[in-house]
């Protein structure tokens, strides 16, 4: 199934070729959890600070349980640093 993966700031380096404006449509197996999507693209879990599925925040526990559906948009941001 196809979903949209959006990775921002330093996480953008994990987007596959063809990404535009920090987003790309990707193919993932049916029954894939949010964390499994990030794993598929090599995104380190310890770098996932803010994760949203279709604009709704997913806490760390929900990321292991929430199954993505065709057409979903999964987005992530790393921890913010600086001042």
83 CB-contact burial (10 Å; exposed 0-12 / middle 13-18 / buried 19+): exposed
Per-10-residue mean pLDDT, the chain, length 83: 97 94 97 97 96 97 96 95 62
Domain chopping of the chain, boundaries: 2-77
pLDDT at site 80: 82
pLDDT at site 83: 59
Q: Are 80 and 13 in contact (CB under 8 A)?
A: no
Q: What is the CATH number of domain 2-77?
A: 3.10.20.30
pLDDT at site 82: 60
């Amino acid at each position: 199934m196809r979903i949209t993966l959006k990775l921002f700031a330093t996480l953008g380096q994990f987007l596959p070729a063809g990404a535009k404006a920090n987003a790309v449509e990707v193919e993932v197996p049916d029954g894939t959890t949010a964390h499994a999507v990030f794993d598929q693209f090599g995104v380190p879990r310890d770098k996932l600070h803010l994760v949203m599925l279709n604009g709704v925040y997913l806490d760390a526990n929900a990321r292991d349980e929430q199954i993505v559906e065709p057409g979903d948009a999964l987005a992530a941001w790393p921890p913010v640093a600086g001042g």
